Structure formats: structure tokens, C-alpha cells
């Protein structure tokens, strides 16, 4: 049977925002967000990223995408998306793919509506439409500058101002996705052909990132639109001060430091360990209290390092755990390097503003007062849900 294949073009040479497709929104690289959206759509069989950039390819592959290496002639400023898509189709067919429907997703749209994407696939699969694109409705009065700069009405009669309820909407492309019959696209060499349909999406999801202002706007919207409650990971790594503690210390007359920790956090760590989830405490400070707490919790610890990200990479590689499957919890600027390389960058609620901005999840509980327990509950809930989804009906409890 023919496949529904999502192809995500993501070149490395963006000019307006350098390395745009690797910039993070809601703690996730843009190309990874597009891959994850395609993977969540049950109507898509295969997810492919076509790129000329090794770093983009590595991130996309880690998030589960198949990679097509894009030649230079299809990756320059003048190259069209259509050319990249046609090349990717050729490569995939050489690999044995039989592609019936092509879904073209753009990573510059960070909030892809998965339900609308699936509905678009169904429109093309049923042959009601040959090509379907994401669009938002608008009742705006559009104008253009005419000769000499004078304003000219485009979609309305300037002398007549009907009420909104008396007007039919127009539709504005969002750029998020285009779904089409693969054979028709090959023949037309363009994304719009035959009977073209519209997949309406909510305006709040219609952000398209071409400028730094749009990138910052998307980052501000991410906590409102993403709202992840569970944390689906294979390992947990945490800072110590400000995460296991409230970032304060008591010093006696001999210079001995002591900190306050939460028994709730200890129980959370114990539950993660029983679930077989590896844990690591990673601290810049070299302090016996960190060693003692890690020993009490029974978890790995690395401390006294100026390059926490390098240590995290080494630890993950030694255990064969992809960085995309790791949660890192931090609170201050020396955690940013780690937060930028993991799939689940997480902040405590009283973290530095740069850490909050980098986070995919901001915990409800502060450091030293249940933050680790908060994370543990989210991780365990995700694992339980994943296990339940793998059960067949015959295996499910009555």
C-alpha cells in the first residue's frame, strides 16, 4: 500500500535568523517540533527531514526522523521548497518507498495543528481534494499602495463597511503544512494543483517565524499552547543547588556548609529508581554535601566541573541514552548549556529568567521544596501512560 509521507525541508543557511531551524521554542528546536507534530498525526506513516546541514540532520534523526541529504543546488537562497521536495521524493522512491500522499511541513511554524493536519490528509485520501493547505480565517480589510503610494482597497469596497457578521471570511496561508497527492505534485511541480482545499486552523497557532520578533513572540506563546503536563523521558539529570535545595546554605564558624533538602524529593528519587530510570546530579560546586546527598539517594553524581554540558554528553553516551530522551532540571545561567542540548529542558519556578525562557516545562514546586518530586510524578505518569498504550485489548485489565 502507498504511504503518507511527511517531508520537512530544513536547510542550514537561513539569513534572517542564523541557524533558524535549530532555534528553540518551548525548549525544543524548531525542526524537532515539526518532526514531533508529524509523528503525533496518526494519518502519517513516515517522517522525513531533507537538509544540507549535519547539525540539523543529527537533531532530526535523534527525534526520530528519516534523513535525506539535500544537495547544494537545492539548498541555496534561490532554491524553492518544491525542488527540495521533488528531490526528496526521488530519494525515498529509490529507497523503496511507494508514496501516495505528501505532507509538506515547515519548521518555521512551531504550533502545527495535528488534528487539522490529519483532516487535510483525509481530504486528499478521499480524493475530495488534490491539495490542501493550512489557513486562518480573516475578516480584515486589506489594502495595497497603488500609483504614487495611494491606498487601494483589495478585498472590499471602501465605500461600503459591512458588519463582520454580514461578511464571508477570507483565508490567509499560515505556512504550517500543505498536503497533496504525490503524483499530482510531481506532474504540476507546484503545491497548488487540481482541486485545492483549505484546512482551517486557529489564529493562535498561525505564528510563522521569519524575524527575531516573531521568534520571541512564539517563545512567549509556547507555555500557553504547549502546556505539557507529563515528561516522557528515559533519564533525569538535575543541578543540585536551587533544585535539590532552595539555593541557600548555612555556614558555621568553621566554614562548614549545610543545606536543607526535601524528604518529598527523596521519595520521588526512590520511585524513579524503582522504575529503572537513571538519575544524575550534576553540580558546578565541589562540595561534600553534594556527595553525601547523592550517596543517600543512591544516584550518580558529577561535580566540580566548569563544562556541565560536556559531562552530560559523556554520561548520556556511556549509557546509550539519546539527549532528546533526557530531562535536565536547572535554575541558573550555568545550566543553560545543558538545557540547550536535551529534549526536555526544565526549570524550577524561581529560576533565572533566561532559564525560564529556555524551558520546555516550568515545575510547580520550587527547588528544595518538592521540585524533584514534582518532576518524578510527571515522568512516572508519562511512563505509565506509555505502558498502557502498548497493551493490546486482550492484555488490558477487565
Q: What is the pLDDT of residue 391?
A: 61
* Domain ranges for the chain: 3-149+168-225, 235-390
What rounded mean pLDDT belongs to the chain? Answer: 93
Q: Which of 315, 246, 307, 305 is nearest to 278 (CA)?
A: 315
pLDDT digits (tens, 9 = 90+) for 210-268: 999 999 999 999 988 887 778 999 999 999 999 999 998 888 888 788 888 999 999 99
Q: What is the pLDDT of residue 194?
A: 96
Is the separation of the CB atoms in 8 and 51 below 8 Å? Answer: no
Is the separation of the CB atoms in 105 and 7 below 8 Å? Answer: yes
The CATH superfamily label for domain 235-390 reads HAD superfamily/HAD-like (3.40.50.1000)
Separation CA 11–CA 74 (nearest Å)? 9
pLDDT digits (tens, 9 = 90+) for 113-148: 999 999 999 999 999 999 999 999 999 999 999 988
The long-range contacts involving 194-197, CB below 8 angstroms and separated by at least 24 positions, are: 194/129, 194/130, 194/131, 195/128, 195/129, 195/130, 195/131, 196/129, 196/130, 196/131, 196/132, 196/133, 197/120, 197/123, 197/128, 197/129, 197/131, 197/132, 197/133
Separation CA 95–CA 92 (nearest Å)? 5
Separation CA 311–CA 290 (nearest Å)? 16
**Topology given in CATH for the domain delimited by 3-149+168-225:** Spore Coat Polysaccharide Biosynthesis Protein SpsA; Chain A (3.90.550)
pLDDT digits (tens, 9 = 90+) for 284-316: 888 889 999 999 999 999 999 889 999 999 999
Amino acid at each position: 500500500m502507498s504511504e503518507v509521507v511527511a517531508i520537512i525541508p530544513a536547510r542550514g543557511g537561513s539569513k534572517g535568523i542564523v541557524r533558524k531551524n535549530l532555534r528553540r521554542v518551548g525548549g525544543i528546536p524548531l525542526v524537532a517540533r515539526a518532526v514531533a507534530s508529524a509523528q503525533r498525526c496518526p494519518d502519517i506513516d513516515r517522517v522525513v527531514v531533507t537538509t544540507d546541514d549535519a547539525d540539523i540532520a543529527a537533531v532530526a534523526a535523534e527525534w526520530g526522523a528519516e534523513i535525506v541529504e539535500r544537495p547544494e543546488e537545492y539548498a541555496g537562497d534561490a532554491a524553492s521548497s518544491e525542488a527540495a521536495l521533488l528531490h526528496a521524493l526521488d530519494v525515498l522512491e529509490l529507497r523503496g518507498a511507494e508514496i501516495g500522499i505528501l505532507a509538506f511541513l515547515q519548521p518555521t511554524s512551531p504550533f502545527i495543528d495535528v488534528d487539522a493536519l490529519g483532516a487535510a490528509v483525509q481530504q486528499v485520501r478521499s480524493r475530495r481534494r488534490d491539495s490542501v493547505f493550512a489557513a486562518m480565517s480573516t475578516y480584515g480589510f486589506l489594502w495595497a499602495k497603488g500609483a504614487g503610494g495611494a491606498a487601494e482597497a483589495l478585498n472590499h469596497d471602501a465605500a461600503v463597511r459591512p458588519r463582520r457578521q454580514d461578511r464571508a471570511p477570507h483565508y490567509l496561508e499560515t505556512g504550517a503544512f500543505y498536503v497533496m497527492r504525490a503524483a499530482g505534485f510531481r506532474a504540476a511541480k507546484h503545491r497548488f494543483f487540481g482541486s485545492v482545499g483549505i484546512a482551517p486552523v486557529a489564529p493562535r497557532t498561525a505564528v510563522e517565524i521569519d524575524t527575531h520578533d516573531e521568534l520571541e513572540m512564539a517563545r512567549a506563546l509556547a507555555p500557553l499552547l504547549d502546556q505539557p503536563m507529563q515528561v516522557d523521558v528515559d533519564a533525569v539529570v538535575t543541578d543540585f543547588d536551587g533544585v535539590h535545595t532552595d539555593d541557600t546554605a548555612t555556614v558555621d564558624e568553621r566554614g562548614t556548609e549545610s543545606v536543607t533538602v526535601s524528604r518529598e524529593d527523596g521519595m520521588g528519587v526512590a520511585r524513579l529508581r524503582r522504575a529503572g530510570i537513571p538519575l544524575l546530579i550534576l553540580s558546578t560546586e565541589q562540595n561534600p554535601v553534594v556527595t553525601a546527598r547523592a550517596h543517600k539517594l543512591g544516584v550518580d553524581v558529577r561535580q566540580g566541573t566548569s563544562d556541565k554540558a560536556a559531562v552530560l554528553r559523556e554520561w548520556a553516551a556511556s549509557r546509550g541514552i539519546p539527549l532528546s530522551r533526557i530531562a535536565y532540571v536547572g535554575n541558573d545561567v550555568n545550566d543553560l548549556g545543558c538545557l540547550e542540548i536535551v529534549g526536555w529542558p526544565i526549570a524550577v519556578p524561581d529560576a533565572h529568567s533566561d532559564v525560564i525562557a529556555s524551558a520546555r516545562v516550568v515545575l510547580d514546586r520550587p527547588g528544595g521544596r518538592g521540585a524533584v518530586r514534582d518532576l518524578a510524578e510527571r515522568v512516572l505518569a508519562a511512563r505509565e501512560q506509555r505502558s498502557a498504550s502498548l497493551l493490546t485489548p486482550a492484555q488490558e485489565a477487565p
